[in-house]
Amino acid sequence: MNRAPAALRRRSTQWLSVLGLLLLGGCAGPQSTLDPAGQAAEDIARLFWIMVAGAVVIWTTVIGLAIYALRLKPEAHPRRRSGIWIIGGGVIAPTVILTGLVIYSLAFLPQLLARPPEGSLQIRVDGLQWWWRVTYLENGETDFELANEIHLPVGEPVEFLLSSPDVIHSFWIPALGGKVDMIPGRETRLTLMPTRTGTFRGVCAEYCGASHALMNFTVVVSEPEDYQQWLAEQRSPARQPAEELTILGRELFVSSGCGACHSVRGTDANGRIAPDLTHVGSRHKLGADVLPNDRASFERWIRHTDTVKPDVLMPEYHSLDAAELTALAAYLESLD
């Protein structure tokens, strides 16, 4: 007679185990606040777990009182004892716990909003529909520019200067720290300090249009010496093509009008509307973390831009035949 309830309990336990594993799976990975790789993210993760602990205590207290009340015999009870349980467990305890959590959380604000030391690395990031213009600054002036990818040295603070020329975006690298809105007409600031190396994912956390979900970026945190080597490579002009195919691709890049929007340092292409492609071949992904960085993806992006990213401003180039498309993609791939 008890087989059905026993089977139901087993099934419920199995489903709860699966649910628990799924929830724990969200606590790790390159885009998890609960798998911190930055000083601010560590503070946020610590605050989260303390908040969870406080919520568990309040929930357990209230549910425990409810169960206790349900099990009481339906008869008169001492008014004093009942008042102690109701006021103490239902009012005083939650109020004290919540007040303590609020005070503890407010103590984090000064360090989360603090400016970095003088001379720290500064990076300007502009959120556009739907990609990220990343400008490295040297003494307040532009050093070099890239798109949809940020490299940082571990253990060093960096100040992000955030803005947007079109709509509200929100800059967020969950593994490194909190998010900050990018508001047209204003410059907001965010200070982060990576605490371990690795490759992480940044996102736009504010709905900004048709391709909002396709507006992501890669963050690479490396050792200081590796970062300095990357810095020197990025400051250099584009590599000159040496093969017949890539030479043809460079000619097509110029003749097809790509340089009117894109910039490639070391060439006549100096467009400012679209991403800088000087070292596009060295980046991890294409199209704001949409496609892998390879020749086939370059061809797909050029030919079917709006299909890959709806409502993107870049036109689809159907005027190029297959051989020309391959040559142009080969040239872009060679820009590492």
Per-residue model confidence as pLDDT tens digits over 194-241: 999 999 999 999 999 999 999 999 999 999 999 999 999 999 999 899
Return the bridge partners of 131, or none. 128
The bridge status of strand 158-163 relative to strand 121-128 is: parallel
Say yes or no: do domains 28-222 and 244-334 share a fold.
yes
In sequence order, the 6+-apart residues with CB closer than 8 A to the CB of 296 are 329
Least confident of 11-25, 58-72, 98-112, 244-258: 11-25
Would you call 36 exposed, middle or buried from its count of C-beta atoms within 10 A (0-12, 13-18, 19+)? buried
Least confident of 30-39, 84-93, 142-151, 308-317: 84-93
Q: What's the pLDDT score for residue 69?
A: 76
* Distance, C-alpha 47 to centroid of its chain: 20
End-to-end C-alpha distance for the chain, whole angstroms: 72
Tell me the pLDDT band of 1, cut-offs 50, 70 and 90: very low
User: Given a cut of 80, is residue 117 above it in pLDDT?
Assistant: yes
Where does 28-222 sit in CATH, by number? 2.60.40.420
Structure tokens at 32: 């998890």
Distance CA 180, CA 202 (A): 12
> Has residue 73 got a pLDDT over 80?
no
Q: What is the pTM of this model?
A: 0.83
More confidently predicted of 46 and 80 = 46
| Residue 301: band (very low, low, confident or very high) from pLDDT cuts 50, 70, 90 | very high
**Can you give the residue ranges of every domain in the chain?**
28-222, 244-334
Three-state SS for 270?
Answer: strand
Q: Which of 73-77, 98-102, 271-275 has the lowest mean pLDDT?
A: 73-77
Average of pLDDT values for 288-315?
Answer: 93
DSSP string, 287-328: TTTTEESSHHHHHHHHHSHHHHSTT-SSPP--SS-HHHHHHH
- Which segment of 12-26, 76-90, 244-258 scores lowest on mean pLDDT? 12-26
- The answer to whether 286 touches 201, Cβ cutoff 8 Å, is no
Cis peptide, bond prior to residue 132, ω within 30 of zero = no
Task: Order the strands of the 158-163 sheet from edge to edge.
Answer: 141-147, 131-138, 121-128, 158-163, 188-192
For position 26, what pLDDT does the model report? Answer: 56
Q: Please state the CATH superfamily assignment of the domain spanning residues 244-334 in this structure.
A: Cupredoxins -  blue copper proteins (2.60.40.420)
Amino acid, res. 141: E
| 35 contact partners, CB below 8 Å, separation of at least 6 | 27, 28, 29, 175
| pLDDT value of position 107 | 81
Residues 311 and 210: beta-carbon distance below 8 Å:
yes
At 125-171, the pLDDT tens digits run 999 999 999 999 998 898 999 999 999 999 999 999 999 999 999 99
Q: Tell me how far apart the alpha carbons of residues 316 and 294 are, in angstroms, rounded to a whole number.
A: 18
The residue among 329 and 90 whose pLDDT is bigger is 329
Higher pLDDT: 9 or 68? It is 68
Mean pLDDT of the chain: 87
* Residues 288, 215 contacting (CB under 8 angstroms): yes
pLDDT score of 76:
67
pLDDT at 139: 86
Q: How far apart are CA 227 and CA 153, in angstroms?
A: 6
Q: Is the dihedral of CA 298, 304, 306, 307 positive or negative?
A: negative
Helix, strand, coil fractions of the chain, as percent rounded to 5: 45, 20, 35
Residue 229 neighbours by CB distance under 10 Å: 12
Bridge partners (DSSP) listed for residue 181: 170
- 305 CB neighbour count, 10 Å cutoff: 17
285: left (phi over 0), alpha (psi -120 to 50) or beta: beta
Instruction: Give the pairing of strands 149-153 and 216-222.
Output: parallel
Stretch 79-94: mean pLDDT, rounded?
77
As a whole-number percent, the residues of the chain with pLDDT over 70 amount to 90
**DSSP reduced 3-state for 126:** strand
Q: Which of 19 and 66 is assigned the larger pLDDT?
A: 66
* Tens digit of each residue's pLDDT (9 = 90 or more) over 118-127: 889 999 999 9
Helix (H) or strand (E) holding 251, with range, is helix 244-255
